[in-house]
Amino acid sequence: MKTKSLFIVLAAFVLGSVIMSFAVPQDQKKGGPWNVPAEYKSKKMPAGADATQGKALWSLHCKSCHGGAGLGDGPKAANLKTFPGNFKSAEFQGQADGVIYYQSFVGREEMPNYEKKIPDDEDRWNLVAFIRTLK
Ligand code: HEC
């Protein structure tokens, strides 16, 4: 008798979790268009920008939310209200270097500001160069 009721409790729990995993809404909103100041828009990636160096910075600072391939599926992404973006998409890659620079280092809301954590302009461009390899 005891075993049976334990089984029922356990079964109810398992069933409950299965139902919950479907019921929890995937309500991550998409970020709207970015308002990027002209002085950033016109920034150009320097010729020597090194994507390999940028990858190390990506792993350290960005991967946790954006994911290894920039699909917006890092381990922290599920806790965000805003979708971090799909860096493989033509829409994302179609943006100017300076726009990606602004998004990456100035940020907004849930996208953190990295101006202090990544102060060196060469490092920043290496990171943008790595982001360009994600397409
Ligand atoms: C705490 C999680 C988190 C971390 C860490 C993070 N980001 Fe983001 N990022 C976001 C979110 C959320 C958005 C979407 C923000 C919005 O649209 O308002 C975003 C947006 C962006 C965008 C614009 C995406 C688009 O589709 O327009 C770029 C570029 C970007 N991040 C680069 C970076 C870089 C580079 C790093 C590391 C230096 C980084 N992010 C670290 C959460 C994060």
pLDDT value, residue 42: 96
Residues above pLDDT 70, as percent of the chain: 91
Domain residue spans of the chain: 38-132
- Residue 30 tokens read as 């998409």
**Alpha carbon of 82 to ligand 1 centroid (Å):** 9
Contact in structure between 111 and 100 (CB atoms under 8 Å) = no
Alpha-carbon span 47 to 21, nearest angstrom: 48
Level-2 CATH architecture, domain 38-132? Orthogonal Bundle (1.10)
Q: Strand ranges (DSSP E) for the chain?
A: 29-30, 82-83
Ligand 1 within 6 A of CB of 85: yes
Mean pLDDT of 37-51: 97
Ligand 1 within 6 A of CB of 40: no
3-state SS, residue 15: helix
Indicate the pLDDT class of residue 4, thresholds 50, 70 and 90: confident
State pLDDT tens for residues 93-125: 999 999 999 999 999 999 999 999 999 999 999
Cα separations (Å) of 88 from 22, 69, 78? 27, 8, 19
